[in-house]
Chains A and B, each alone.
Chain A
Amino acid sequence: MNVPESDSPTPTIIRDATCTFCGCVCDDIDIHVEGNRIVKAKRACALGTAWFLNHAADDRPSCLIDQKPASVEDGIRRAAELLTDARYPLIYGLSDTTSESQRVAVAIADWIGSNLDSTSSVCHGPSGMALQGVGEVTCSLGEVRNRGDLIIFWGANPAESHPRHFTRYSLMPKGMFLPNGRKDRTCIVLDVRKTKSAKAADQFIAVKPRCDFEALWTLRALVAGIQLDPEDVLQQTGQPLKIWQDLAAQMKQAKFGVIFFGMGLTMTRGKHANTEALLALTRDLNQFTRFACKPNRGHGNVTGADNVVTWRTGYPFGVNLCRGYPRFNPGEYTASDLLARREADAAMILASDPMANFSESAREHLRSIPYVALDPKETPTTRGAAVAFTVATYGINVPGTVYRMDDIPIPLRPALTSPHPSDFDILSGIEQHVRQIIANQ
């Protein structure tokens, strides 16, 4: 991998670099490097620009043990001891690193008989559960770009979470079968509030808060030709029956419809039941036309986490390896539950920040147990870690593979060297030590 020297006096341009801030994983960014800094990220959105321009090497030590500077070797040894000493450990995170590192994290979980969970469980985990029950009619973002003439966003706000979604994949591009781009597409946004994404749409439908399930089943009934009581529909969905009748008709008439859905469905009451309804609606629509749906995945490689954990254990997240074989049970082996129920007695947190994102009871328990944290940045989670590693940033310093939200693997083209080790190196070291400890037991 061609990484420019950090003290190179001439500006260097890395073409077609990959942004890993969100699940769009745009791989057309031109990175301008001056000295040891990225000064420009051409074609990146506001989030991507902030990502590239704020990842100059952090001047914190590469390793802290009990918040005191230590050598990386000592940190690796301490981390391996801490994890092998535990009776019910948890390995959590995984979504903001390369699939190569994710693979090593799963291997460690396997060696120590750990619980293994990714940030999927607090993102689109419920969608993963739903697709196990219903199946998924899916497609690539390339198909959306070239064919999608009816684009629906449900409980998703890409204008703020995936800013290039519209321009690169779903709304603006001129596609093979949509020569006029945006003019050939219809866009509908459904949400409980009028988000910035609604401004880009042809129609906004306000769904009654916490009633997405009712709205989706209304549509399923209408698509199946079932008569509904207008008063019931209005009361349960917040919109008159006519709105849903028109939408159902529009869906059936589309040549290639796509529903992108977000955490407005998975994080709200109903969770996997909401996404199950949406996946089933998409399946039903295929009796009339071609329709697909896609979760708008957030973290840069959360899709990779699902893929890697699935190909190594058979399940996407919430896996327990204690008995030497994988068991899957969301609610039991998922990180938020394990911590809130005070069950885990040690943890390794890889590239995520549960100390900012979990419930207070989960955070309180994490605070009380020894844990290892690996992150390029200082976060509330790294601040409380028994062993904290500052690691090089994937995509900026570290090569590897990430999966776009449509499961397409994309290579990284790093722009800068880093004084910090990669999490792949740290995890490989921990795995080696863990194996030695186990062999000597």
Chain B
Amino acid sequence: MPELFILIPGRTLRQGRGISEGKFGQMYQDEIHALCMAPEDMQRLGLANNDRVRIISPSGQVETTVAAAKPGELPSGLLFIAYGDLSSQLMGQDTHGSGMPTSKGIDVRI
């Protein structure tokens, strides 16, 4: 049974460095494919670091690997991923008249 989470895509140092090194390079690609989850959620779902998970949003779905966030960094129920191709695939097109699609705080199922 998929569980509901809120996904927060954001910038990271490695993603920023990866942009300069090249978007087809290893660092950038690794970083934008790394999903972070609270350790207690990992435990509850029986997940270990580097397990593959499917993230489903109302606009798309992607598969990637998951890793535990550092204790205290991410509250239970929240997921984090670096901005990039994957997070964009999960984002809807509606900008609610602002020009900006809702790119943070996306409802997803794991």
Contacts and interface: CB of A to CB of B under 8 A. Distances in A.
A380 B86 CA distance: 13
Given A356-B88, A361-B93, A55 B104 contact: no
Contact of B20 (A50, A317, A353): A50
A361 B60 CA distance: 10
B11 interface: yes
B105 A268 contact: yes
A89 interface: no
Contacts of B105: 192, 209-210, 267-269
A112 interface: no
Given A157-B10, A163-B13, A193-B8, A267 B100 contact: yes
A54 B99 CA distance: 32
Interface residues of B, number: 41
Contacts of B77: 209
A379 B23 contact: yes
A343 interface: no
B44 to A, nearest CB: 18
A359 B59 contact: yes
B100 A125 contact: yes
Interface residues of A, number: 58
Contacts of B91: 359
Contacts of B6: 209-210
B24 to A, nearest CB: 7
A380 B22 CA distance: 11
Nearest to A198: B73
A26 to B, nearest CB: 14
A161 B24 contact: no
A340 interface: yes
Contact of B98 (A55, A206, A330, A335): A330
B96 A157 contact: no
Contacts of A194: 72-74
Given A46-B16, A160-B16, A360-B93, 5 more contacts: A163-B13, A192-B8, A193-B73, A336-B99, A378-B23
Interface of B: 6, 8, 10-13, 16-17, 20-24, 59-60, 72-75, 77-78, 80, 83-85, 88-89, 91-93, 95-105
Q: Which 3 A-B pairs have the closest CB atoms?
A: A334-B99, A331-B97, A121-B99
7 contacts: A46-B13, A126-B98, A206-B75, A209-B6, A359-B101, A360-B59, A380-B85
